[in-house]
Structure 1
Amino acid sequence: MKIKVKPSLVAAPMAFFYKALTKTLRFEVEGLENLIEIMDRKEPVMLALWHNELFALTSYGMTKGFPYVTMASDSRDGQIITETLERLGFKVARGSSTRGGVKAMLGMTRLMKREGCIGIITVDGPKGPRHKVKQGILAIAQKTDSLIIPMRGYVENPMVFKKSWDHFEVAKPFSRCKVFMDKPFKVTDQKLSPEILESEASKIEAAMYNLGNGF
Protein backbone atom coordinates (compact mmCIF):
# COMPACT_ATOMS: atom_id res chain seq x y z
CA MET A 1 0.00 0.00 0.00
CA LYS A 2 1.36 3.39 -0.98
CA ILE A 3 1.39 6.07 1.66
CA LYS A 4 0.44 9.35 0.06
CA VAL A 5 1.96 12.42 1.65
CA LYS A 6 0.17 15.73 1.33
CA PRO A 7 2.03 17.98 -1.16
CA SER A 8 2.00 20.83 1.36
CA LEU A 9 3.99 18.72 3.82
CA VAL A 10 6.74 18.37 1.21
CA ALA A 11 6.49 21.81 -0.38
CA ALA A 12 6.81 23.80 2.85
CA PRO A 13 10.24 22.44 3.89
CA MET A 14 11.43 22.47 0.27
CA ALA A 15 10.60 26.17 -0.03
CA PHE A 16 12.21 26.91 3.33
CA PHE A 17 15.52 25.24 2.43
CA TYR A 18 15.43 26.73 -1.07
CA LYS A 19 15.14 30.24 0.37
CA ALA A 20 17.88 29.54 2.90
CA LEU A 21 20.26 28.22 0.23
CA THR A 22 19.50 31.11 -2.13
CA LYS A 23 20.58 33.61 0.51
CA THR A 24 24.09 32.09 0.44
CA LEU A 25 24.54 32.23 -3.35
CA ARG A 26 26.59 34.94 -5.08
CA PHE A 27 25.19 36.02 -8.43
CA GLU A 28 27.15 37.69 -11.22
CA VAL A 29 24.70 39.05 -13.78
CA GLU A 30 25.05 40.34 -17.33
CA GLY A 31 22.20 41.61 -19.46
CA LEU A 32 19.61 42.40 -16.80
CA GLU A 33 19.11 45.75 -18.52
CA ASN A 34 17.60 43.85 -21.47
CA LEU A 35 14.74 42.72 -19.23
CA ILE A 36 14.40 45.97 -17.30
CA GLU A 37 14.04 48.02 -20.49
CA ILE A 38 11.16 45.83 -21.67
CA MET A 39 9.48 45.98 -18.27
CA ASP A 40 9.83 49.78 -18.20
CA ARG A 41 8.03 49.91 -21.55
CA LYS A 42 5.35 47.61 -20.07
CA GLU A 43 5.77 45.15 -22.93
CA PRO A 44 5.10 41.44 -22.40
CA VAL A 45 8.20 39.27 -22.10
CA MET A 46 9.18 35.63 -21.62
CA LEU A 47 12.39 34.07 -20.35
CA ALA A 48 13.72 30.96 -22.11
CA LEU A 49 15.71 28.59 -19.88
CA TRP A 50 17.32 25.16 -20.13
CA HIS A 51 15.77 22.68 -17.71
CA ASN A 52 19.08 21.67 -16.09
CA GLU A 53 19.79 25.32 -15.13
CA LEU A 54 16.39 25.84 -13.53
CA PHE A 55 17.59 25.65 -9.91
CA ALA A 56 20.06 28.53 -10.09
CA LEU A 57 17.90 30.69 -12.34
CA THR A 58 14.84 30.24 -10.13
CA SER A 59 17.01 31.26 -7.17
CA TYR A 60 18.14 34.37 -9.00
CA GLY A 61 14.59 35.19 -10.10
CA MET A 62 13.38 34.91 -6.54
CA THR A 63 15.90 37.53 -5.41
CA LYS A 64 14.49 40.06 -7.91
CA GLY A 65 10.86 39.67 -6.85
CA PHE A 66 9.41 40.23 -10.33
CA PRO A 67 5.91 38.87 -11.16
CA TYR A 68 6.63 35.48 -12.74
CA VAL A 69 4.42 32.73 -14.11
CA THR A 70 5.63 29.30 -15.12
CA MET A 71 4.15 25.86 -15.78
CA ALA A 72 4.00 22.63 -13.80
CA SER A 73 2.41 19.32 -14.71
CA ASP A 74 -0.98 18.07 -13.55
CA SER A 75 0.70 15.15 -11.81
CA ARG A 76 1.15 14.71 -8.06
CA ASP A 77 4.81 15.72 -8.41
CA GLY A 78 3.58 18.78 -10.28
CA GLN A 79 1.38 19.68 -7.31
CA ILE A 80 4.43 19.59 -5.01
CA ILE A 81 6.37 21.77 -7.46
CA THR A 82 3.42 24.15 -7.75
CA GLU A 83 3.03 24.59 -4.01
CA THR A 84 6.79 25.05 -3.62
CA LEU A 85 6.98 27.69 -6.35
CA GLU A 86 3.96 29.55 -4.98
CA ARG A 87 5.73 29.76 -1.62
CA LEU A 88 8.69 31.28 -3.47
CA GLY A 89 6.47 33.97 -5.02
CA PHE A 90 5.81 32.45 -8.45
CA LYS A 91 2.44 31.95 -10.13
CA VAL A 92 1.94 28.56 -11.78
CA ALA A 93 -0.19 27.42 -14.70
CA ARG A 94 -0.85 23.69 -14.42
CA GLY A 95 -0.08 21.32 -17.27
CA SER A 96 2.90 20.40 -19.45
CA SER A 97 3.78 19.22 -22.92
CA THR A 98 2.92 15.66 -21.82
CA ARG A 99 -0.10 16.30 -19.56
CA GLY A 100 -2.57 19.13 -20.08
CA GLY A 101 -0.20 21.22 -22.15
CA VAL A 102 -2.87 23.25 -23.91
CA LYS A 103 -4.53 24.12 -20.61
CA ALA A 104 -1.20 25.25 -19.16
CA MET A 105 -0.38 27.37 -22.20
CA LEU A 106 -3.79 29.07 -22.00
CA GLY A 107 -3.34 29.62 -18.27
CA MET A 108 0.08 31.17 -18.74
CA THR A 109 -1.20 33.35 -21.58
CA ARG A 110 -4.08 34.58 -19.41
CA LEU A 111 -1.82 35.50 -16.49
CA MET A 112 0.65 37.28 -18.75
CA LYS A 113 -2.10 39.35 -20.34
CA ARG A 114 -4.23 39.98 -17.26
CA GLU A 115 -1.56 40.46 -14.58
CA GLY A 116 1.50 41.45 -16.60
CA CYS A 117 3.49 38.43 -15.45
CA ILE A 118 6.85 37.49 -16.94
CA GLY A 119 6.51 34.07 -18.54
CA ILE A 120 9.19 31.50 -17.72
CA ILE A 121 9.57 28.37 -19.85
CA THR A 122 12.14 25.59 -19.74
CA VAL A 123 12.30 25.27 -23.48
CA ASP A 124 13.66 21.70 -23.49
CA GLY A 125 11.39 20.45 -20.68
CA PRO A 126 9.81 18.59 -19.15
CA LYS A 127 11.52 15.47 -20.50
CA GLY A 128 13.88 16.53 -23.26
CA PRO A 129 15.66 16.04 -25.53
CA ARG A 130 18.28 17.95 -23.56
CA HIS A 131 19.05 21.45 -24.90
CA LYS A 132 16.64 21.09 -27.80
CA VAL A 133 14.14 23.95 -28.02
CA LYS A 134 10.51 22.85 -28.17
CA GLN A 135 7.96 25.00 -29.90
CA GLY A 136 5.46 25.83 -27.15
CA ILE A 137 7.22 29.07 -26.22
CA LEU A 138 6.79 30.33 -29.77
CA ALA A 139 3.02 29.82 -29.71
CA ILE A 140 2.66 31.58 -26.35
CA ALA A 141 4.95 34.44 -27.40
CA GLN A 142 3.00 35.03 -30.59
CA LYS A 143 -0.35 34.79 -28.77
CA THR A 144 0.73 37.35 -26.14
CA ASP A 145 2.87 39.45 -28.53
CA SER A 146 5.78 38.84 -26.16
CA LEU A 147 9.48 39.27 -26.65
CA ILE A 148 11.66 36.29 -25.68
CA ILE A 149 14.89 36.69 -23.72
CA PRO A 150 17.19 33.66 -23.80
CA MET A 151 18.69 33.18 -20.33
CA ARG A 152 21.53 31.01 -19.03
CA GLY A 153 22.78 30.15 -15.55
CA TYR A 154 26.22 28.69 -14.84
CA VAL A 155 26.97 27.37 -11.35
CA GLU A 156 30.47 27.00 -9.96
CA ASN A 157 31.13 23.32 -9.15
CA PRO A 158 27.46 22.26 -8.98
CA MET A 159 26.00 18.97 -7.85
CA VAL A 160 25.01 17.25 -11.12
CA PHE A 161 22.39 14.52 -11.28
CA LYS A 162 23.95 12.60 -14.16
CA LYS A 163 21.25 9.94 -14.25
CA SER A 164 18.55 12.51 -15.00
CA TRP A 165 17.72 13.19 -18.64
CA ASP A 166 18.97 16.80 -18.43
CA HIS A 167 21.90 16.38 -15.99
CA PHE A 168 20.08 18.65 -13.56
CA GLU A 169 22.35 21.00 -11.60
CA VAL A 170 21.96 22.11 -7.99
CA ALA A 171 24.08 24.87 -6.50
CA LYS A 172 26.02 24.12 -3.33
CA PRO A 173 25.86 26.64 -0.47
CA PHE A 174 27.93 29.80 -1.04
CA SER A 175 28.46 29.02 -4.72
CA ARG A 176 29.03 31.63 -7.41
CA CYS A 177 26.43 31.70 -10.18
CA LYS A 178 26.83 33.49 -13.48
CA VAL A 179 23.56 34.64 -15.04
CA PHE A 180 23.28 35.89 -18.61
CA MET A 181 20.29 37.50 -20.34
CA ASP A 182 20.44 37.94 -24.09
CA LYS A 183 18.93 40.68 -26.22
CA PRO A 184 15.19 40.13 -26.83
CA PHE A 185 14.01 37.92 -29.67
CA LYS A 186 10.80 38.71 -31.56
CA VAL A 187 8.80 35.81 -32.95
CA THR A 188 7.66 36.19 -36.53
CA ASP A 189 4.13 37.43 -37.26
CA GLN A 190 3.75 34.72 -39.90
CA LYS A 191 1.49 31.73 -39.35
CA LEU A 192 3.43 29.17 -37.33
CA SER A 193 3.63 26.37 -39.86
CA PRO A 194 5.87 23.39 -39.02
CA GLU A 195 8.63 24.88 -41.14
CA ILE A 196 8.38 28.32 -39.50
CA LEU A 197 8.26 26.75 -36.03
CA GLU A 198 11.42 24.78 -36.71
CA SER A 199 13.20 27.84 -38.08
CA GLU A 200 12.23 30.09 -35.15
CA ALA A 201 13.10 27.41 -32.58
CA SER A 202 16.53 26.96 -34.14
CA LYS A 203 17.21 30.70 -33.76
CA ILE A 204 16.45 30.60 -30.04
CA GLU A 205 18.49 27.43 -29.68
CA ALA A 206 21.51 29.06 -31.32
CA ALA A 207 21.19 32.08 -29.06
CA MET A 208 21.07 29.83 -25.99
CA TYR A 209 24.18 27.94 -27.01
CA ASN A 210 26.13 31.16 -27.67
CA LEU A 211 25.11 32.95 -24.49
CA GLY A 212 27.69 33.48 -21.76
CA ASN A 213 30.33 31.09 -20.57
CA GLY A 214 30.78 28.70 -17.69
CA PHE A 215 33.40 28.47 -14.99
Structure 2
Amino acid sequence: MRNIYVKMTPLLTFFAVGWSMSIRYKRVNFEKIQDLRNRKKPIVFAIYHNELFPLCYLHRNEGIIAVVSASRDGEILARVLHSMGFNLARGSSSRQGMKAMLAAMRQMHTKGRDAVLTVDGPRGPRHEVKPGIVYLASRIGAHIVPVRVRMSTRHEFSGSWDRFKLPWLWSGCEVVYGRPYKLSSKMGSSEITQEALELKHKLGLLSST
Protein backbone atom coordinates (compact mmCIF):
# COMPACT_ATOMS: atom_id res chain seq x y z
CA MET A 1 0.00 0.00 0.00
CA ARG A 2 2.83 2.39 0.85
CA ASN A 3 4.26 1.91 -2.67
CA ILE A 4 0.94 3.13 -4.11
CA TYR A 5 1.15 6.29 -2.00
CA VAL A 6 4.72 6.87 -3.16
CA LYS A 7 3.66 6.60 -6.80
CA MET A 8 0.63 8.85 -6.32
CA THR A 9 2.52 11.66 -4.56
CA PRO A 10 4.16 13.34 -7.60
CA LEU A 11 0.89 13.33 -9.55
CA LEU A 12 -1.16 14.70 -6.67
CA THR A 13 1.45 17.34 -5.90
CA PHE A 14 1.57 18.38 -9.55
CA PHE A 15 -2.23 18.71 -9.55
CA ALA A 16 -2.33 20.68 -6.29
CA VAL A 17 0.42 23.10 -7.31
CA GLY A 18 -0.83 23.57 -10.86
CA TRP A 19 -4.41 24.14 -9.72
CA SER A 20 -3.37 26.53 -6.96
CA MET A 21 -1.17 28.62 -9.27
CA SER A 22 -4.33 29.83 -11.01
CA ILE A 23 -5.87 31.14 -7.78
CA ARG A 24 -5.80 34.87 -7.04
CA TYR A 25 -4.74 35.10 -3.41
CA LYS A 26 -5.25 38.03 -1.07
CA ARG A 27 -3.97 38.06 2.52
CA VAL A 28 -5.73 40.07 5.22
CA ASN A 29 -3.88 41.07 8.42
CA PHE A 30 -0.78 39.10 7.39
CA GLU A 31 1.48 41.86 8.72
CA LYS A 32 0.80 40.57 12.23
CA ILE A 33 2.23 37.20 11.23
CA GLN A 34 5.29 38.80 9.69
CA ASP A 35 5.88 40.79 12.87
CA LEU A 36 5.78 37.66 15.05
CA ARG A 37 8.16 35.85 12.71
CA ASN A 38 10.55 38.79 12.65
CA ARG A 39 10.63 38.65 16.46
CA LYS A 40 11.14 34.84 16.40
CA LYS A 41 7.86 34.21 18.21
CA PRO A 42 6.35 30.72 17.65
CA ILE A 43 2.96 30.48 15.95
CA VAL A 44 0.33 27.75 15.78
CA PHE A 45 -2.13 28.32 12.93
CA ALA A 46 -5.70 27.13 13.56
CA ILE A 47 -7.57 26.16 10.38
CA TYR A 48 -10.64 24.16 9.46
CA HIS A 49 -10.22 20.93 7.52
CA ASN A 50 -12.47 21.95 4.64
CA GLU A 51 -10.41 25.11 3.95
CA LEU A 52 -7.08 23.29 3.79
CA PHE A 53 -6.49 23.08 0.03
CA PRO A 54 -5.59 26.70 -0.91
CA LEU A 55 -3.44 27.15 2.22
CA CYS A 56 -1.07 24.32 1.25
CA TYR A 57 0.23 26.23 -1.76
CA LEU A 58 0.12 29.66 -0.12
CA HIS A 59 2.37 28.51 2.75
CA ARG A 60 4.57 26.12 0.79
CA ASN A 61 8.31 25.86 1.53
CA GLU A 62 8.01 27.63 4.88
CA GLY A 63 8.89 24.53 6.89
CA ILE A 64 5.64 24.74 8.85
CA ILE A 65 5.01 21.67 11.01
CA ALA A 66 1.71 20.11 9.95
CA VAL A 67 -0.01 17.76 12.39
CA VAL A 68 -1.50 15.14 10.08
CA SER A 69 -3.74 12.17 10.82
CA ALA A 70 -2.17 8.71 11.09
CA SER A 71 -4.94 7.32 8.85
CA ARG A 72 -4.55 6.13 5.25
CA ASP A 73 -5.99 9.39 3.93
CA GLY A 74 -3.57 11.22 6.19
CA GLU A 75 -0.68 9.29 4.65
CA ILE A 76 -1.50 10.71 1.21
CA LEU A 77 -1.88 14.24 2.57
CA ALA A 78 1.34 13.93 4.55
CA ARG A 79 3.33 12.97 1.49
CA VAL A 80 1.92 15.82 -0.58
CA LEU A 81 2.58 18.33 2.19
CA HIS A 82 6.13 17.05 2.64
CA SER A 83 6.77 17.46 -1.08
CA MET A 84 5.50 21.07 -0.78
CA GLY A 85 8.02 21.91 1.93
CA PHE A 86 6.11 21.19 5.14
CA ASN A 87 7.49 19.32 8.14
CA LEU A 88 5.26 16.63 9.63
CA ALA A 89 4.02 15.41 13.00
CA ARG A 90 1.82 12.36 12.53
CA GLY A 91 -1.19 11.51 14.65
CA SER A 92 -4.66 12.79 15.46
CA SER A 93 -7.08 13.40 18.29
CA SER A 94 -8.29 9.82 18.04
CA ARG A 95 -5.09 7.93 17.27
CA GLN A 96 -1.61 8.56 18.64
CA GLY A 97 -2.73 12.12 19.34
CA MET A 98 -0.40 12.80 22.27
CA LYS A 99 2.53 11.37 20.33
CA ALA A 100 1.84 13.86 17.52
CA MET A 101 1.58 16.79 19.94
CA LEU A 102 4.90 15.90 21.55
CA ALA A 103 6.52 15.50 18.13
CA ALA A 104 5.23 18.91 17.06
CA MET A 105 6.52 20.50 20.27
CA ARG A 106 9.97 18.96 19.82
CA GLN A 107 10.19 20.20 16.24
CA MET A 108 9.04 23.68 17.18
CA HIS A 109 11.83 23.79 19.77
CA THR A 110 14.60 22.28 17.67
CA LYS A 111 13.74 23.71 14.25
CA GLY A 112 12.25 27.02 15.32
CA ARG A 113 9.27 26.51 13.01
CA ASP A 114 5.58 27.36 13.20
CA ALA A 115 2.90 24.67 13.29
CA VAL A 116 -0.57 24.22 11.81
CA LEU A 117 -3.51 22.09 12.94
CA THR A 118 -6.85 21.36 11.33
CA VAL A 119 -8.72 21.92 14.56
CA ASP A 120 -11.79 19.86 13.61
CA GLY A 121 -9.91 17.00 11.91
CA PRO A 122 -9.46 14.28 11.02
CA ARG A 123 -13.08 13.07 11.27
CA GLY A 124 -15.01 15.98 12.72
CA PRO A 125 -17.58 16.95 13.70
CA ARG A 126 -17.26 19.74 11.17
CA HIS A 127 -16.10 23.06 12.61
CA GLU A 128 -15.96 21.69 16.16
CA VAL A 129 -12.62 22.74 17.66
CA LYS A 130 -10.79 19.98 19.51
CA PRO A 131 -8.54 20.78 22.48
CA GLY A 132 -5.24 19.56 21.00
CA ILE A 133 -4.24 22.95 19.61
CA VAL A 134 -4.89 24.64 22.98
CA TYR A 135 -2.70 22.08 24.75
CA LEU A 136 0.10 22.49 22.19
CA ALA A 137 0.10 26.29 22.15
CA SER A 138 -0.09 26.66 25.93
CA ARG A 139 2.73 24.19 26.60
CA ILE A 140 5.05 25.63 23.96
CA GLY A 141 4.24 29.28 24.69
CA ALA A 142 3.14 29.90 21.11
CA HIS A 143 0.69 32.42 19.71
CA ILE A 144 -2.51 30.91 18.28
CA VAL A 145 -3.54 32.49 14.98
CA PRO A 146 -7.07 31.63 13.73
CA VAL A 147 -7.22 31.51 9.92
CA ARG A 148 -10.22 31.44 7.57
CA VAL A 149 -10.39 31.26 3.76
CA ARG A 150 -13.08 32.93 1.67
CA MET A 151 -13.33 31.48 -1.84
CA SER A 152 -15.16 33.50 -4.48
CA THR A 153 -16.16 30.38 -6.43
CA ARG A 154 -15.73 26.81 -5.29
CA HIS A 155 -17.01 23.25 -5.40
CA GLU A 156 -18.19 21.88 -2.09
CA PHE A 157 -18.04 18.12 -1.61
CA SER A 158 -21.34 17.65 0.18
CA GLY A 159 -20.76 13.92 0.68
CA SER A 160 -17.67 14.42 2.83
CA TRP A 161 -17.90 14.89 6.60
CA ASP A 162 -16.39 18.38 6.40
CA ARG A 163 -17.96 19.52 3.09
CA PHE A 164 -14.46 19.99 1.72
CA LYS A 165 -14.06 23.12 -0.43
CA LEU A 166 -12.08 23.21 -3.67
CA PRO A 167 -11.73 26.68 -5.21
CA TRP A 168 -12.40 26.75 -8.94
CA LEU A 169 -9.56 27.55 -11.31
CA TRP A 170 -8.81 31.30 -11.45
CA SER A 171 -11.08 32.02 -8.51
CA GLY A 172 -10.25 34.49 -5.76
CA CYS A 173 -9.18 33.35 -2.30
CA GLU A 174 -9.07 35.82 0.57
CA VAL A 175 -7.09 34.42 3.51
CA VAL A 176 -7.96 36.18 6.76
CA TYR A 177 -5.53 35.94 9.69
CA GLY A 178 -7.05 36.62 13.09
CA ARG A 179 -5.42 38.46 15.96
CA PRO A 180 -2.60 36.35 17.48
CA TYR A 181 -3.01 35.53 21.17
CA LYS A 182 -1.24 33.54 23.87
CA LEU A 183 -2.53 31.31 26.63
CA SER A 184 -1.41 30.54 30.15
CA SER A 185 1.06 27.67 30.43
CA LYS A 186 -0.80 26.39 33.51
CA MET A 187 -4.22 25.30 32.36
CA GLY A 188 -6.44 22.51 33.67
CA SER A 189 -8.63 20.29 31.49
CA SER A 190 -11.74 22.44 32.02
CA GLU A 191 -9.83 25.58 31.03
CA ILE A 192 -8.46 23.88 27.92
CA THR A 193 -11.99 22.86 26.94
CA GLN A 194 -13.23 26.42 27.45
CA GLU A 195 -10.40 27.85 25.35
CA ALA A 196 -11.29 25.46 22.53
CA LEU A 197 -14.80 26.94 22.56
CA GLU A 198 -13.34 30.44 22.54
CA LEU A 199 -11.21 29.56 19.52
CA LYS A 200 -14.29 28.27 17.72
CA HIS A 201 -15.93 31.64 18.40
CA LYS A 202 -12.90 33.51 17.04
CA LEU A 203 -12.89 31.40 13.87
CA GLY A 204 -16.59 32.09 13.42
CA LEU A 205 -16.06 35.83 13.66
CA LEU A 206 -13.42 35.71 10.92
CA SER A 207 -15.89 34.18 8.49
CA SER A 208 -18.18 37.20 8.73
CA THR A 209 -15.71 40.10 8.93
| 1:122 aligned onto 2:118 | yes
Identify the residue that residue 15 of structure 1 maps to in structure 2. 13
Code of the residue aligned with 2:44 in structure 1: it is M
- Deviating beyond 6 angstroms after TM superposition, the runs of 4 or more aligned structure 1 residues are none
Residue deviations 1:95-119 (CA, integer Å, cap 9, x gap): 1112211111111111111101111
Question: Which is worse superposed, 5-14 or 126-135?
Answer: 5-14
8 Å CA contact 1:56–1:155 kept in 2: the answer is no
Identify the residue that residue 54 of structure 2 maps to in structure 1. 56
8 Å CA contact 2:57–2:84 kept in 1: the answer is no
Residue pairs, 1:151-190, within 5 angstroms: 151-190=147-186
Code of the residue aligned with 1:7 in structure 2: it is Y
Residue pairs, 1:137-152, within 5 angstroms: 137-152=133-148
Q: 1:129/1:212 Cα in 2 relative to 1: closer, same or farther (>3 Å)?
A: closer
Give the structure-1-normalised TM-score: 0.92
**In structure 2, what is the Cα distance between the partners aligned to 1:191 and 1:213?**
30
Give ranges in structure 1 of 5+ residues lacking alignment.
Answer: none
Identify the residue that residue 104 of structure 2 maps to in structure 1. 108
Identify the residue that residue 40 of structure 1 maps to in structure 2. 38
Identify the residue that residue 136 of structure 1 maps to in structure 2. 132
**In structure 1, what is the Cα distance between the partners aligned to 2:121 and 2:49?**
6
Give the structure-2-normalised TM-score: 0.94
Which secondary structure does the structure 2 equivalent of 1:186 belong to?
coil
| 1:78 aligned onto 2:74 | yes
Tell me the number of residue pairs that the alignment of Structure 1 and Structure 2 aligns.
Answer: 209
8 Å CA contact 1:156–1:176 kept in 2: the answer is yes
Residue deviations 1:74-99 (CA, integer Å, cap 9, x gap): 23332222111111111111111122
**In structure 2, what is the Cα distance between the partners aligned to 1:131 and 1:138?**
15
**In structure 1, what is the Cα distance between the partners aligned to 2:71 and 2:198?**
32
Instruction: Give the CA deviation at 1:190.
Output: 3.0
8 Å CA contact 2:46–2:119 kept in 1: the answer is yes
